[in-house]
Chain A
């Protein structure tokens, strides 16, 4: 940890040449991961991440650097070399630092540091053993992984504030590869939370999670190739929210909006989605995978209504990009670790419950696709062009869920697809993922209730969709 006295000296060195903001981000994290493959422990590894990132701002310019040299000499040296980017007079200095305290909504009561490796292995083995017990010769390879991370962060900035954030999370992941004479299929499940190990015995269990992955891989062996073309698609709850994450979440981050590089620029206060769509980014859900109590700029976590009844009402904003937008950040500034300059990012982002039921939506669909399992996706925030891959889907005929299909990729443009959501159910769920962007890979929840897109392009290898 850096002393307050050293932090003040480093900030003042950073501010000597005209920066109007300076910030020190100190991190000391540990992580553990263990992997069981085909029911034998194959890998067990530990990691310690410790370093400092220093950020200087002047107007719309950002200067960032990081180091593992945590001595006074190393930190003053880094601050000085970054300050060399500017050649003005000092406009600001720091006399004292006051601690900001945020409410801890994500306390991990029993630290993972106090759980033995053997106990973590025993937990994950409950799942791999359940797969082994299936005794299905088509399952050729399966892995169960448990990982936990204890992250301590302290931030000191030239607003005279400092704060610390001490968080822990755990995640279990199962991947199953199945094969028959026709080839291979794989499936994956990976629930996680900022909660202690009891979460993995109560809210989700290793056995259920592992068997879900195994059954999906086996089911997909028997599935036909997904048809292609434009068609109505009912998107399942939970991980289906990757659609909104890609198509709308990224383009609503200040990193795109501030520079006028989003497909939603100029749409503030206007309809960008159909009236049945309301969406939020909420970093205050207790214990959730993507929650943060306080962001990297010292702004408190918040629930941001992004879209209300189809109208664009807010963005995810960090202080730096907020400068171009004439406003302050709203608690969305995040980064993977000290090696990344922070920017506006999502937390727990989801479409809110609507008034329909899942059954009504399926029954109202004559011919289309019901997509329930997803692999993630990507987007170009400027054009809004996005894709996301489905790992599990079914054909809907005459309002009924029929045969499974595989290999579907859904593509479209964010600003067009949101207008085509015509039914939203009331079964909201969240799904855990890692989101990669400019400030690295961070934990985010995606989420939505079951919903229908009246028409979207589906890419598959199965030819035309037929009734």
Chain B
């Protein structure tokens, strides 16, 4: 087998253990503008991440082409890199879990659908957006992309794991104009069952999202009872869950240090790590080869567990929770699929419960406006006023500010409108007791 050479060379170089993590992908994408395919891409590539242990220290190297020459490069660099490591954290090259529960997120049928069928659907989507409302002055882009990915994990202890997944993402973006005001917005649909792609429905949402923002002006600055749309909750939830990483806790930079078994959010909040659900994000082994499991991270507001990879688990003498995932050349701690358990109320019922407040549909610039250490955020946002229990006029850009811990502590209701998002989070709208809004 072509990867055997790497392990042979690693052994000859004196590495005690070695590992290869290979990610291969093929993708197809295209974009329409004014009825023309302005961009078309067809790609085929791989990433090879290699690790090895020398005197118990781990060196790392990566490449994308794989050859005898690259094997030699990987081994040489691993040896050199391992020699300079001073940190004494245990690095484990794993022999494998006793049992794995396999789940698949690969649908062969997606790739069998002819290109022309996909193109026709996108032409229809573009036309439907254009025709959707006289205030739509431009269809900024209509795009389709699909990707098939394979993960291979091989190591010197004989571990040989392989998983495959595929998905498509399609989106439409439009520009609306009225009385000199210009607004742009989009909507996307993703999945791996092409039959679920309803272009009329998607076009309707693109148009609705875009024209609904017209006529807006900022609200008065102040504290508001707030409904956060699923995509907004997802962005914030992802950062919040990073505080449950044992790595952050051990390195003393988590807001959830010493909070195991304690209340860290409102009792309405239950957040689960669900890699074994039949979702596009399904993973039955993590990037270190540990079998994954579904489990609550926060249950009715109480912190149920921290998330561990093999290194953080070994430091505390506990088992890995199967949350070792790669961030480039090293293995960190994260979850592939986070689920915020939905409640029973529809979005309309949430508005009614709020009475007067704001409904935030979008936040921008999380990398700039959210401090992951303190949990404080102040984010460019758009949305609507809520008046007399109903969605009212649009808000022109405002900022929404608060703190992540307080926000999840202030959740007073959770909706039933769960939505799965491309970031690997599935969540509904939530109502927060109060959030700062800066407008006029």
Contact = CB atoms under 8 A, between A and B. Distances in A.
A69 interface: yes
Given A41-B87, A45-B61, A460-B438, A69 B183 contact: no
Interface in A370-387: 374-378, 380, 382-383, 385-387
Given A382-B175, A389-B368, A411-B380, A184 B84 contact: no
Interface in B49-83: 59-66, 70, 73, 77, 80-82
A64 B40 contact: yes
Contacts of A65: 41-44
Contacts of B330: 43, 45
B369 interface: yes
Do most interface residues of chain A lie in helix, strand or loop, or is the interface mixed? Answer: strand
Given A61-B38, A383-B182, A461-B378, A409 B373 contact: no
Q: Which of A186, A225, A383 has the most chain B CB atoms closer than 10 A to its own CB?
A: A383
Given A67-B43, A228-B438, A382-B175, A457 B399 contact: yes
Interface in A115-169: 117-118, 121, 140-141
Task: Please list the 3 inter-chain residue pairs (A to B) with the smallest Cβ-Cβ separation, ordered nearest first.
Answer: A459-B399, A389-B368, A387-B380
A42 interface: yes
A317 B66 CA distance: 36
B365 A378 contact: yes
Nearest to A260: B138
Contact of B65 (A41, A43, A50, A61): A50
A110 interface: no
Contacts of A313: none
19 contacts: A40-B88, A41-B87, A51-B45, A60-B36, A66-B44, A66-B45, A82-B40, A82-B42, A85-B40, A117-B81, A185-B371, A341-B41, A386-B380, A388-B368, A407-B376, A409-B365, A409-B399, A413-B397, A464-B221
A387 B175 contact: no
B65 A385 contact: no
B401 A461 contact: yes
A48 B436 CA distance: 47
Nearest to B28: A65
B269 to A, nearest CB: 20
Contact of A47 (B45, B61, B88): B61
Interface in A64-89: 64-70, 78, 81-82, 85
Contacts of B380: 378, 385-387, 409, 411, 459
A263 interface: yes
The range of chain B's interface size is 35 or more
B99 interface: no
Given A46-B77, A62-B40, A177 B401 contact: no
A44 B369 contact: no
A442 interface: no
Contacts of A383: 182-184
Q: Which of B38, B41, B251, B330 has the most chain A CB atoms closer than 10 A to its own CB?
A: B41
Given A60-B38, A117-B81, A341-B39, 13 more contacts: A41-B84, A41-B86, A49-B64, A50-B63, A63-B41, A67-B43, A378-B367, A380-B184, A383-B184, A387-B364, A387-B368, A409-B365, A461-B401
A408 interface: yes
Contacts of B89: 42
B310 interface: no
A267 to B, nearest CB: 13
B65 A141 contact: no
Interface in B179-214: 182-184
Given A141-B251, A375-B368, A185 B45 contact: no
Interface string B226-252: 000000000000000000000000011
B378 A408 contact: yes
A230 interface: yes
Interface string B315-330: 0000000000000111
Given A141-B252, A228-B438, A383-B183, A409 B87 contact: no
B373 A177 contact: yes
A443 interface: no
A261 interface: yes
B41 A51 contact: no
B301 to A, nearest CB: 20
Interface in B425-440: 436, 438-440
Contacts of A82: 40, 42
Contacts of B73: 46, 48
Contacts of A179: 252-253
Nearest to A51: B64
Contacts of B251: 37, 140-141
B436 A228 contact: yes
A383 to B, nearest CB: 5
Interface string A386-430: 111101000000000000001111011100000000000000000
Contacts of A43: 60, 85, 329-330
Given A51-B45, A378-B368, A186 B40 contact: no
A186 B373 contact: yes
A378 B364 contact: yes
B336 to A, nearest CB: 22
B379 A388 contact: no
Nearest to B181: A383
A140 B252 contact: yes
A44 B367 CA distance: 25
Contacts of A47: 61-63, 329
A308 interface: no
B365 A261 contact: no
B371 A388 contact: no
A382 B140 contact: yes
Contacts of A382: 140, 175, 182, 184
Nearest to A54: B42
B59 to A, nearest CB: 6
B438 A458 contact: yes
B209 to A, nearest CB: 13
Contact of B373 (A50, A184, A385, A461): A184
